[in-house]
Amino acid sequence: MKKTFELIAPCHFGMEAVLKREITDLGYDITLVEDGRVTFIGDEETICRANIFLRTAERVLLKVGSFHAESFEELFQNTRSIPWEEYIPQDGKFWVAKASSIKSKLFSPSDIQSIMKKAMVERLKKAYGLEWFPESGSSYPLRVFLYKDEVTVGIDTSGDSLHKRGYRTLTSKAPITETLAAALIMMTPWNRDRILVDPFCGSGTFPIEAAMIAANMAPGMNRSFLAEDWKNIIPRKFWYEAMDEASDLLETEVEVDIQGYDIDGDIMKAARANAESAGVDHMIHFQQRPLSALSHPKKYGFIITNPPYGERIEEKENLPALYKEIGERYRALDSWSLYMITAYEDAERYVGRKADKNRKIYNGMMKTYFYQFMGPKPPKRKTGD
């Protein structure tokens, strides 16, 4: 009989609604949406499917407990009361990989980590009748969040963050993560029937993620996950079944118009290599091309892009002219939409119009804005077309 678990999927701040929709579309019930994470219900199979199919989650955590703790003694006792033997085998390797604390009396990550590890050892000593643990088996790293003295404890099932799809070996100067790129694309009305151009594509993340969405390609198809080794919790057959499901859904022959440009020829080579590694190089047209050459004869396309925003002082001087040119090239396109993530505060001023929508998004620790300039919708196709 399958077990029922609570699972936590962390995501970029501001992307909770996109992730929530993804989880619901996979068929799972959401129990809680908080800043930067979504909690949902599932079983062993869910752990496999969530890791393989979720485009916008950073990782998938198996929630093992939550409790209130204002002192290290409370933290120790409550951690010890979690039935760790149900999750960690005798030879399991276990440690607190990350502890974060916001508005809580306990705030030192290193102290939280060492006290929780001690409490786990105490519990498992008693459960297994051992004085010493070899920790030579599979890995069970913990991630712990403290918020207003409430402690949430999860075991990381993913290993490497899920933004590491396995295709990006080469990156440009200011790369956007794969999970954030996917989330931003999914926040727009773009679909595979519409044109997508990224005139500052760098190492190709926006075009590649768009092509993967168009091809219905599961983002975790070409990588492995930590929980694949958890034979005590997840039978291997669930991983095989989830991978088979991902293969069955793949549509690599779909016709799309996705283009990526950059002024840097070496970066274009890297973008092509990344697209090839992802298995979508035949779906994207990459070209070394300046912004001034941005044009397209067709209507109703999308620009989705991450333009330079002047992290270096000498670049800052060029920004007004650059964003003015973005506005000019955009206006020259017929009935297009422009979606742009940037940290540049004067973007709207120089683009030459106010965005229809503007979302504040934290890209790592950097505050950025997702400006959304919406073009008209294409007319509905007549039936029989």
Asked if pLDDT for residue 78 goes beyond 60, the answer is yes
Between 13 and 38, residue with greater pLDDT = 38
The pLDDT of residue 316 is 81
In the structure, what pLDDT confidence band is assigned to residue 173 with cuts at 50, 70 and 90? low
| Distance (Å, whole) CA 85 – CA 127 | 7
Mean pLDDT confidence for 277-294: 97
The pLDDT of residue 175 is 75
**What domains, with CATH codes, occur in the chain?**
5-156 (3.30.2130.30), 178-219+252-373 (3.40.50.150)
The pLDDT of residue 172 is 62
In the structure, what pLDDT confidence band is assigned to residue 385 with cuts at 50, 70 and 90? very low
For 56-71, b/e burial (b = at least 16 CB within 10 A) is bbbbbbbbbbbbebee
Asked if pLDDT for residue 140 goes beyond 80, the answer is yes
In the structure, what pLDDT confidence band is assigned to residue 381 with cuts at 50, 70 and 90? confident
Asked if pLDDT for residue 311 goes beyond 80, the answer is no
The pLDDT of residue 314 is 63
The CA-CA-CA angle for residues 204, 210, 211, to 5°, reads 85
- Return the sign of the alpha-carbon dihedral for residues 288, 294, 295, 299: positive
Which pair of structure tokens corresponds to residue 133? 């643990």
The pLDDT of residue 251 is 97
Mean pLDDT confidence for 295-301: 96
Q: Are 295 and 333 in contact (CB under 8 A)?
A: yes
What are the distances in angstroms from CA 191 to CA 72, 85, 208, 229? 51, 46, 14, 36
Q: Which helix (H) or strand (E) holds 10?
A: strand 5-10
Mean predicted lDDT score pLDDT of the chain: 95
The pLDDT of residue 230 is 98
What pLDDT digit, counting tens, does each position of 92-134 carry? Answer: 999 999 999 999 999 999 999 999 999 999 999 999 999 999 9
Between 75 and 382, residue with greater pLDDT = 75
The pLDDT of residue 254 is 96
Phi, psi of 28 (to 5 degrees): -115, 150
Asked if pLDDT for residue 343 goes beyond 60, the answer is yes
Mean pLDDT confidence for 219-223: 95
The region, left, alpha or beta by phi > 0 then psi within -120 to 50, assigned to residue 137 is beta
Residue type, 338: L
Which pair of structure tokens corresponds to residue 286? 């990459």
Which pair of structure tokens corresponds to residue 159? 């290993």
Asked if pLDDT for residue 87 goes beyond 70, the answer is yes
The one-character DSSP state at 307 is -
Q: What is the pairing mode between strands 302-305 and 196-198?
A: parallel
Which pair of structure tokens corresponds to residue 140? 């069970």
